[in-house]
Amino acid sequence: MAQIVSTKPLSVAQREKLARFGDVACPPEGRRFSQAELFAALQDAVGLITFGTRVDETLLEQAPSLKVASTASVGYDHFDLAAMRRRHILGAHTPHVLDDTVADLGMALMLAVARRIVELDGYVRGGEWKKGDEEALYGVDVHHRTLGIVGMGRIGRALAKRAKFGFSMNILYHARSRHDDVEQAFGARYADLPDLLHESDFVVLLTPLTPDTENLMNEERFRRMKPSAIFINLSRGKTVDEDALVQALREGWIRGAGLDVYRQEPVPPDHPLLSLSNVVCVPHIGSATQATRTAMLDLAIDNLIAVLDGRTKDAYIVPELRDLAEEG
């Protein structure tokens, strides 16, 4: 039986890198494991490489020898940390390698919503463009406006850099603590969340999903934003009350939104967000370039190998389980 299991295909070189731990099981290119296939492969597995598969009690019951689950993502809300802790299973993730790629998407969504790129592409393709439209085609400027970043981690810094030096934007940020380096590098100003929402022309949400951040953006907070403001979510879908967001977009509490994440993924085709012309929706593509996804997978493999070799200090262990790594 397989000793290492990956829920997505691996290259020959990646499989060879893992082969010293035993057989490597992964689906063929263009396929995914069924649940039955995955559970069968996990029976003797010591390591799991995942891309969002829920690692919970149900899965772990099928993997009695598992020592580490390594996800090719920064977020790890698909890890049931309590269940993993009970079984002394380490979890690893892949920060750093996707920061610039996600920040690029943040700027793309800001521009797309502000300049109505998707809406006006449909306008042209639908044969509606005619001379004399003028004001009907107007969007709003991004340059020299105020950007509020909620969650100033590595991606927030990469976004602030683009906004400040590429678009001469003023930067506000809200985080659990102040960051002097951000304030010095980008002229950023720390603000309480209500003040940030009230002052910003663009609000980008970059917080991890925790009990404290679930529904962080709710009716009260959307109402604090300017009617001319644009909201961008690059964090997790559950950080936003989507009913409140739909109401904010329909009733003009805010000008528009750009979304990469949703409470339910894929988004149901009848979701009310998809009927609104002032929202741009993309399918959770924050890190979706070939170079970045390959780098994330390579790091997930390196994390798994480091744990199995007993070099946990060389792996990006998720913070909530680091004490297990220190115990050995």
Active site includes 176?
Answer: no
| Segment 46-62 mean pLDDT | 96
Say which residue the tokens 């951000």 belong to: 182
The active-site residue out of 93, 157, 224, 236 is 236
CATH number (domain holding residue 261): 3.40.50.720
What's the domain count of the chain?
2
251 and 320: one domain? no
93 and 108: one domain? no
Nearest to 266 by CA among 282, 255, 280, 278: 282
228 and 312: one domain? no
3-state secondary structure of 148: strand
148 and 42: one domain? no
pLDDT in tens, 212-271: 999 999 999 999 999 999 999 999 999 999 999 999 999 999 999 999 999 999 999 999
The active-site residue out of 57, 220, 265, 326 is 265
Residue 1's pLDDT is 56
Residue 192's pLDDT is 98
What DSSP element (H or E) covers 327? helix 322-327
The Cα 305–Cα 310 span in angstroms is 9
The percent of residues in the chain predicted with pLDDT above 90, rounded, is 95
154 and 223: one domain? yes
Domain holding 302, by residue range, is 4-97+290-327
pLDDT in tens, 121-150: 999 999 999 998 989 999 999 999 999 999
Active site includes 265?
Answer: yes
133 and 272: one domain? yes
Active site includes 236?
Answer: yes
76 and 115: one domain? no
Contact by Cβ (8 Å): 38, 14: no
Confidence of residue 328 (pLDDT cuts 50, 70, 90): low
- Count Cα neighbours of 249 within 13 Å in the Cβ-side half-sphere: 23
Residues 6+ apart with CB under 8 A from 211: none
64 and 126: one domain? no
Confidence of residue 186 (pLDDT cuts 50, 70, 90): very high
pTM of the model: 0.91
The percent of residues in the chain predicted with pLDDT above 70, rounded, is 99
Kindly state the tokens that stand for 152.
Answer: 């100033």
The active-site residue out of 162, 271, 284, 322 is 284
> To the nearest whole number, what is the mean pLDDT of the chain?
96
| Segment 193-213 mean pLDDT | 96
| Segment 115-120 mean pLDDT | 98
Confidence of residue 325 (pLDDT cuts 50, 70, 90): confident
